Structure 1
Amino acid sequence: MVGKPPRGVGNYDKPNGDDIEPVKAVPVSTSGRAKVGWVRINTLGVVNRLSMEKTKIATLLRVPLRDLRVLEPTTADSYSAAVLCRERAIVVNLEQIKVLITAEEVIMTDSQTSTVTHFLPELQTRFETSPEKELRQAQPTTDEFPFEFVALEVALEMVCNTLEVEANKVELDAKPALEALRKRVDNVNLERVRRMKTRLVRVAGRVSKVREEIQRYLDDDSDMRDMYLTRKSKQQSESLRREGSVTSPPPNGADGGQRGATAHYQLEHALSASSGRSPLGVHGVHTQNKDLQELEDLLETYFTHVDSTHRSLNGLNEYIDDLEDLIEIELDSQRNQLIKLELILTTATLCLTCFSVVVGIFGMNIKNNVENEHGMFLLVVLLGSAATIGMFIILLRVCRYYRLF
């Protein structure tokens, strides 16, 4: 774990009628909308179940309903990659991990998916075995690693490790299949390589999605700042406190000082809004840059991890392409050999055809007194065979001269 999360038990109030209890049958509210079972874990590793409508979750966390639909276990695209920053939550949809991460808890649907069976126990173990748990229970600290980044780190770690394991399996299955195909090209080996390449393309696509999603945040500092939910919550509280102190009635004789403070605060707030930074002064900007560097280091760590897997799969894919090119060259060479053999046989057939013309001439029923000579048959055979062989040799030399084979 990179750091320790802040203390807290939830960043929203539970509406009336939404009891925290193990989910049984899906209840139906008076408005006719079915409640959904949710599981949430806070910063102390405590896991609770609650039943709440999706619309209430969306309203409390200010998350669009379409993001909650993506988190449903029945979503068709199970292997997708999307990390969406909202005002009060981060929607994580990486592979089979589909959760809502807030500044103080992680929320997920209560279903028998990898999110609940693998991610939730891992996150709970991370918090329960942390040596700083008692410290978090005793008093909050200001230099601790934000809770949302700890949860995001666990999600990225599980996703990257899972993709690496699947990539290693593909590589282990690919090596014997490719070696067998290199030695002998037949239908069985070709079918094995085809199935293996289909698996490779799928895993490589999933790795590429996760890699591109992490890179998207690394390339945009504003997106990374939006992921810092703890700071945004603190800034909102500080802003409300300042606005309350500014609008409070000034003491007697302090109208001028109060108006000056009000004008100074308004000017500072306007400059901060126009520059896109928090009205916390130089110290606040320094803290933002420091935390931004921490988040950037976190994302770069897992980007390096998934990029290594991506490069490994690309290397395997390039090896397959090279093997396909080699096999294609070998097949072309065999085709050329067959064409060469066909050309030689055609040339030999032409020469024999010329000899058959002579045989046909002498086989005609024409009286020329040659057929009565006993040695003439042997002479014609010898001369015809010699002429045929000589013609064949000459034609071969001509074909080689013109590089026909």
Structure 2
Amino acid sequence: MPSLLVREHAILLNLGSLRAIAMQENVYIFNYNRKGGKAFIDALLPRLNPKTMNGGPSMPFVLEVVEAALHSRIQRLEQRLWDLEPRVQALLEALPNRLTGDILEELRISKQRLVELGSRAGALKQMLLDILEDTHEIRRICIMGRNCTLQKNDEMECSVPLEKQIAEEEEEEIEMLLENYLQRCESCHGQAERLLDSAKEMEDSIAVNLSSRRLEVSRVELLLQVGTFCIAVGALVAGIFGMNLKSYLEERAVCPLGLYLYASVFFLNVWLMFAF
């Protein structure tokens, strides 16, 4: 589960493959050679370059680290979604007419990846919601590195009035920052859920189609079994009358009752065969 924990002099970040400790002037990255660590470094370094600031005011270093971490994480989720979406759409268009083992296996793999992506995006969304609902944690970030304290009612008390004003402005900026990434995360999570629902509906349609085909095969098998039974009964009656054993029927005249009985059995078998 992703987490962002605020301490007195540092912020602990745990965003999957990215684990870091952000302080006032330093950031310590664990497993920096993993994908999450590399993406975080690529997002953070341009923010710290004076040439890319365009002369505008910069945020405190801690906030730069937090924004870079959130940006790199959500950007990776969005990139995975962009890679999966055209593949899933192509599968949904091809599946009604092409039911092959390779396509069905690819649909299963894509569905599994969508479940994983939706789970990660949902966990990150929940983390951002929890932080936005907890104003105490946001104000703890704002007073970090300043001569300010939080009262019991979460009111900031600073020794210098200017620092309190700057902290309050940063609080609004942090809230806007978190809301921005929350919207991106919700968009990614919602799109993944929609694609997953479409894949599940396609699986249900395929299951119904295969069930209908199995019923057709079972009907043909039953028809063949009934036909075989009818032919076997006719062959049995013909075999009885064709045996080289004396039954004393051959010495009598033609028996209309036996003829009618044989004809009735024959037509009954034919009716049964076509009835199924």
TM-score normalized with structure 1 length: 0.56
How far does residue 88 in structure 1 lie from its aligned partner after superposition? Answer: 0.7
* Residue 244 (structure 2) pairs with residue 330 (structure 1): no
**1:280–1:382 CA distance, 2 compared to 1 (3 A):** same
Matched residue SS, 1:99: strand
Quick one: distance in 2 between partners of 1:368 and 1:85?
107
How far does residue 92 in structure 1 lie from its aligned partner after superposition? Answer: 1.7
- Counterpart position of 2:179: 300
How far does residue 381 in structure 1 lie from its aligned partner after superposition? Answer: 7.8
Write the mapping of 1:171-210 to structure 2, written as runs, cut at 5 A: 171-210=85-124
Quick one: distance in 2 between partners of 1:390 and 1:370?
33
Given that 1:83 and 1:93 are in contact with CA atoms closer than 8 Å, whether structure 2 keeps it comes out as yes
Given that 1:277 and 1:285 are in contact with CA atoms closer than 8 Å, whether structure 2 keeps it comes out as no
Given that 1:99 and 1:115 are in contact with CA atoms closer than 8 Å, whether structure 2 keeps it comes out as no
Given that 2:18 and 2:31 are in contact with CA atoms closer than 8 Å, whether structure 1 keeps it comes out as no
Paired positions, count: 269
Give the counterpart of 2:9 among 72, 76, 88: 88
Give the counterpart of 1:234 among 131, 139, 146: 146
Given that 2:16 and 2:36 are in contact with CA atoms closer than 8 Å, whether structure 1 keeps it comes out as no
How far does residue 116 in structure 1 lie from its aligned partner after superposition? Answer: 6.2
How far does residue 100 in structure 1 lie from its aligned partner after superposition? Answer: 2.0
* Residue 32 (structure 2) pairs with residue 130 (structure 1): no
How far does residue 172 in structure 1 lie from its aligned partner after superposition? Answer: 2.5
* 1:20-47 deviation digits (Å, cap 9, x = unpaired): xxxxxxxxxxxxxxxxxxxxxxxxxxxx
Given that 1:108 and 1:115 are in contact with CA atoms closer than 8 Å, whether structure 2 keeps it comes out as no
Identity of aligned residues (%): 24
2:135 partner letter: D
Write the mapping of 1:310-329 to structure 2, written as runs, cut at 5 A: 310-329=189-208
* 1:338-395 deviation digits (Å, cap 9, x = unpaired): 222233333334433443443243234212137887xxxx9998665434324545xx
* 1:178-214 deviation digits (Å, cap 9, x = unpaired): 4444322232222222333333333333323322221
How far does residue 306 in structure 1 lie from its aligned partner after superposition? Answer: 1.4
How far does residue 113 in structure 1 lie from its aligned partner after superposition? Answer: 4.3
Computing the radius of gyration from Cα coordinates, the structure with the larger value is 1
1:90 partner letter: I
Given that 2:12 and 2:22 are in contact with CA atoms closer than 8 Å, whether structure 1 keeps it comes out as yes
Write the mapping of 1:105-254 to structure 2, written as runs, cut at 5 A: 105-108=26-29, 112-114=33-35, 117-127=38-48, 128=50, 129-132=52-55, 145-228=59-142, 231-236=143-148
Matched residue SS, 2:249: coil
Quick one: distance in 2 between partners of 1:111 and 1:291?
29
- Counterpart position of 1:244: none
How far does residue 166 in structure 1 lie from its aligned partner after superposition? Answer: 1.3
What are structure 2's unaligned runs of at least 5 residues? none
Quick one: distance in 2 between partners of 1:113 and 1:383?
83
How far does residue 222 in structure 1 lie from its aligned partner after superposition? Answer: 1.9
- Counterpart position of 1:40: none
How far does residue 332 in structure 1 lie from its aligned partner after superposition? Answer: 1.0
2:65 partner letter: A
Quick one: distance in 2 between partners of 1:177 and 1:316?
11
How far does residue 167 in structure 1 lie from its aligned partner after superposition? Answer: 1.3
Write the mapping of 1:23-102 to structure 2, written as runs, cut at 5 A: 81-102=2-23
Given that 2:12 and 2:21 are in contact with CA atoms closer than 8 Å, whether structure 1 keeps it comes out as yes
* Residue 267 (structure 2) pairs with residue 389 (structure 1): no
Quick one: distance in 1 between partners of 2:40 and 2:152?
41
How far does residue 321 in structure 1 lie from its aligned partner after superposition? Answer: 0.6
Given that 2:21 and 2:27 are in contact with CA atoms closer than 8 Å, whether structure 1 keeps it comes out as yes
Quick one: distance in 2 between partners of 1:215 and 1:297?
13
What are structure 1's unaligned runs of at least 5 residues? 1-79, 137-143, 240-271, 400-405
Write the mapping of 1:327-366 to structure 2, written as runs, cut at 5 A: 327-364=206-243, 365=245, 366=247
> Larger % of helix: which?
2
Matched residue SS, 2:14: strand
TM-score normalized with structure 2 length: 0.78
* 1:231-276 deviation digits (Å, cap 9, x = unpaired): 243234xx7xxxxxxxxxxxxxxxxxxxxxxxxxxxxxxxx74434
Given that 2:226 and 2:272 are in contact with CA atoms closer than 8 Å, whether structure 1 keeps it comes out as no
Stretch deviating more after TM superposition (201-210 or 312-321) = 201-210
Given that 2:129 and 2:182 are in contact with CA atoms closer than 8 Å, whether structure 1 keeps it comes out as yes
RMSD: 3.6
Given that 1:235 and 1:278 are in contact with CA atoms closer than 8 Å, whether structure 2 keeps it comes out as no
Quick one: distance in 1 between partners of 2:128 and 2:218?
54
Quick one: distance in 2 between partners of 1:312 and 1:275?
40
* 1:117-149 deviation digits (Å, cap 9, x = unpaired): 44335423223221337xx7xxxxxxx744322
